[in-house]
Structure 1
């Protein structure tokens, strides 16, 4: 898991996981398709699993998941 904010960095192909921050708000997941900040910093163009693509400035409820992390901890 990568910390949020000024220390967050990502690469194309990483996944953005935005945790639902209220009861009834599900988590959102998507693939990072473009990185617009220097050195992997936000903002990111993300293609979410629901098919929408958005420019995202992740907040404290978001983490970056790399392909290596996904392989080590597959979802059930």
Structure 2
């Protein structure tokens, strides 16, 4: 795994009900971009040194922006579907 300062470290939740954690990489361990990474976490602005595990990915600013836009578009489609009544399943007894 390689990164550069300004990239994002995304650590996936280990269960469905746990959210992912995102942090901005502020420093890398070598000129080649190897870990450990110094990360400023988005949730609480805490800075820590991280050796990423298999549940982590490094994304560029463009990649994370594209993913966020996909998530926003998906949420808007679901909201529109719900408003139109097309996605609501009712149980008849």
The alignment's TM-score, normalised by the length of structure 2, stands at 0.66
1:21 matched to 2:19? The reply is no
Aligned-residue Cα RMSD (Å) equals: 1.5
1:68 matched to 2:62? The reply is yes
Q: Any runs of at least 4 consecutive aligned residues in structure 1 with deviations exceeding 3 A, and if so which?
A: none
Higher relative contact order (CA 8 A, sep 6+): 1
Bigger-Rg structure (1/2): 2
5+ residue gaps, structure 1:
1-7
- Of Structure 1 and Structure 2, the greater helix share is in 2
1:55 matched to 2:49? The reply is yes
Q: Give the total of aligned pairs.
A: 68
5+ residue gaps, structure 2:
73-93
